[in-house]
Amino acid sequence: MAARTKTTAKPRPAYRCTECGNQLPKWVGRCPECNAWGTVEEYGAVPIRTTAAGPVSSPAKPIGQIDGQVATARSTGVPELDRVLGGGLVPGAVVLLAGEPGVGKSTLLLDVAAKAASDRHRTLYVTGEESAGQVRLRADRINALSDHLYLAAEQDLGAVLGHIDQVSPGLLILDSVQTIASAELDGAPGGPAQVREVAGALIRASKERGMATLLVGHVTKDGQIAGPRLLEHLVDVVLSFEGDRHARLRIIRGVKNRYGATDEVGCFELHDEGIIGLADPSGLFLTRRDKPVPGTCLTVTLEGKRPLVAEVQALMVDSQIPSPRRTTSGLESPRIAMILAVVERHGGVKLGKQDIYTATVGGVKLSEPSADLAVALAVASSSTDTPLPSNLVAIGEVGLAGEVRRVTGVQRRLAEAHRLGFTHALVPPDPGKVPPGMKVVEVADIGEALRAIPGRRRAAAKPRGAAGEPRGAAAEPAAPGRSDAPARALELARRAAERPVPAHAEELMEGWEPLDSDELL
């Protein structure tokens, strides 16, 4: 009987992307990780391995016996950041804060590092983009000095881990993850393989030590976080730091949060002395005036769960070119074009030969549809050069048929407007509970919204007929050869005068005057 021989399978060839280091079982023309073409090359064999059962670090327990106190969040000292994080930093949590250059990421985190440092919880701030002296100058400017705040300038992952062993911090801030590289891997800092290795090593150190970690991340030209998408999956919290560099307002939004909700936002104001949190940022979005001016309307927008009162402005001038301009700032151009079409078609406001400019105040960007009604009223107010009441807010989405639709959180918006002293509001039907002492007018379409504005009674008395004739007098002209034509015309005029005819929106707009808000419905 022939003896059986044990054969082993030949090692399979392995392939690796020279751009990002991604390993593949077979050759492909395009790397699925970094989407680079022609970078996959064969480099060796992948040994066939099997993993045997090994010792466990700790036995599994019923979930009810797990101590949840070890994961209690600790405040960062910045209430607006705590709001977005869900109460503070959880020990062992890794947070990725990404934003455009110059938005204020380093300034905010240096302030957090100083306020979170204490004798029981040291803070280690590692910078890979600046020298230690440059960071010290910024700390002097924003008064972010603490005896328990340690600063190091490093670009090597091994050196960063050495500082962690030496300081034993409770909070690590790394600015930024794209500037740190590992000597064990080839490639420049910021590459997908380097970012993945640096993030993985810091996450392991954070979990083992119970150390909270804040990583600063760069963004690409289209606003996405630079590096592999795996980075966002590895970390516990992903925050986006937004703001126009020409405005003072900065907003932090939660993109991912394993310890809280992602519908909270934090508002900050950037100035020469640093960055401070704004518990009530609505004042940045309003213009203080002694008297109302035409072309402005106030609305209430929701940033996550947070209601903010914002001001929308519109300006209309006669166009000097065949194609009138349509310019927006802080608003979405396609949506403004739709609102202008609805105002002209269903509101009767002529916009064809006018240059129209629409903008927001304070650098805020309004993307939700609740500002549609305010934009429509601002455009209508500018077209007649007549201001709206200063204590009026408008909330609602405008559809293509001219209807005013409901939006989410109407009660929360009205409560915020009432808290800031606004006494009147135009809202869609069925707004729910209204704050006591606030007068709310429900409008079903854009025509009702225009008729609800002060001045409607004076405008309704003006006829639309040519040369001042009553409406309806020219609707049925007398037939030729009829002897009772004059009498019939008088009879039609009398009936038209007795019958209540709703005024046209354009006529309503002509009679506007800056009245006291008590004249509102």
pLDDT at res. 24: 85
- What CA–CA distance (Å, rounded) separates 205 from 160? 11
Looking at every residue in the chain, the average pLDDT score rounds to 82
pLDDT at res. 70: 74
pLDDT, tens only, 228-277: 788 899 999 999 998 877 778 888 999 999 988 888 889 898 887 888 88
- What CA–CA distance (Å, rounded) separates 243 from 98? 12
pLDDT at res. 26: 85
What is the mean predicted confidence (pLDDT) over 340-365? 89
Secondary structure of 148-213 as H, E, C letters: CEEEEECCEHHHHHHHHHHHCCCEEEEECHHHCECCCCCCCCCCHHHHHHHHHHHHHHHHHHCCEE
Direct distance between the N- and C-terminal alpha carbons of the chain, in angstroms, rounded to an integer: 106
Confidence band, pLDDT 50/70/90 cuts, at residue 407: very high
- What CA–CA distance (Å, rounded) separates 213 from 221? 26
Question: Cα 29–32–38 angle (5° rounding)?
Answer: 30
> What is the identity of the amino acid at 96?
L
Q: Which of 315-329, 341-355, 430-444, 506-520 has the lowest mean pLDDT?
A: 506-520
- 485 or 14, which is more confident? 14
Residue 281 DSSP code: G
Q: If we measure between CA atoms, which residue out of 414, 494, 509 comes closest to residue 459?
A: 509
pLDDT at res. 521: 44
pLDDT at 351 > cutoff 60: yes
**Cα torsion 481, 482, 485, 486: sign:** positive
* Angle, in degrees to the nearest 10, between helices 372-384 and 333-346: 60
Q: Is 138 exposed, middle or buried (0-12, 13-18, 19+ CB in 10 A)?
A: middle
- 470 or 190, which is more confident? 190
Please, how many CA atoms are within 13 Å of residue 261, restricted to the half-sphere of its CB? 8
Q: Please list, residue by residue across 339-368, b when 16 or more beta carbons sit within 10 angstroms of its beta carbon and e when fewer do.
A: bbebbbebbbbebeebbbbbebbbbbbbeb
460 token code pair? 């309704």
pLDDT, tens only, 475-502: 444 444 444 555 555 565 555 545 443 3
Task: Give the SS3 label for residue 277.
Answer: strand
pLDDT at res. 91: 92
pLDDT at res. 489: 53
Contact call for residues 447 and 512 (beta carbons, < 8 A):
no
pLDDT, tens only, 118-157: 998 999 999 999 999 999 999 999 999 999 999 999 999 9
pLDDT at res. 342: 94
Contact call for residues 272 and 249 (beta carbons, < 8 A):
no
What is the mean predicted confidence (pLDDT) over 381-399? 90
- What CA–CA distance (Å, rounded) separates 330 from 312? 9
Place of tokens 């073409």: 37
pLDDT at 112 > cutoff 90: yes
Q: Is 330 left (phi over 0), alpha (psi -120 to 50) or beta?
A: left
pLDDT, tens only, 274-315: 888 888 887 777 777 777 889 999 999 988 888 989 999 999
What is the mean predicted confidence (pLDDT) over 353-372? 90
What is the mean predicted confidence (pLDDT) over 49-55? 75
